Amino acid sequence: MFAQRPCNVLGIDPGLTRCGYAVLQVEGNTEVSMRALGVLRTKPEQELSHRLAEIASEIDSLLDEYQPSVVAVERIFFQSNVRTAMSVGQVSGLVLSAAARRGVEVVQYSPNQVKLAITGWGGADKAQVQKMVKQRLKLNSLPKPADAADAAAIALCHIASSPMATKVAELARGKK
């Protein structure tokens, strides 16, 4: 993932009411900085189709503005609340489709993969993830809200999991 020219990674924590996003810029061998962090919000009283259209429009705007090299999305996992799982799946589909239409690579990571990559432990809680995101991005305060922090963690997970990152780390340790 480390590149000679700057490239952007868009991290998405999908959700219908709150969809977290983070744009991280990767430059050189180790420089990672935050370009954008936030939450796309929809109102629960709106029709589902309007909420999805609103999120799709915002995702399109993020893709157009930041032109990421890759979009990293949290993979949905089985939840006891079927309604929540369905809405998260619908938003994930919007994101995957928007990126694919632009020819942007899409990767998905499970919540445990993200936690493991960020904290070193797949069972970490949200506070531990927020603390590590703050530390890794050299932020002055904890990233908030939690959905935005999760999106930053997803993008960081991709950067840490990238084959190029592994190669750079091996070269730094003297392996070929």
Question: b vs e for 94-109, b when ≥16 Cβ sit within 10 Å of the residue's Cβ?
Answer: bbbebbeeeebebbbb
Q: How many CA atoms lie within 13 A of 89 on its CB side?
A: 9
Query: Are 12 and 21 within 8 A, CB to CB?
Result: yes
Question: Exposure string (b/e) for 143-166, b if CB count within 10 Å is 16 or more?
Answer: beebbbbbbbbbbbbbbbbbeebe
Which is it for the CA torsion 24, 137, 1, 15, positive or negative? negative
Q: Which residues are catalytic?
A: 13, 74, 147
Q: How many Å apart are CA 29 and CA 6, to the nearest integer?
A: 10
Amino acid making up residue 11: G
Q: How far apart are CA 11 and CA 23, in angstroms?
A: 6
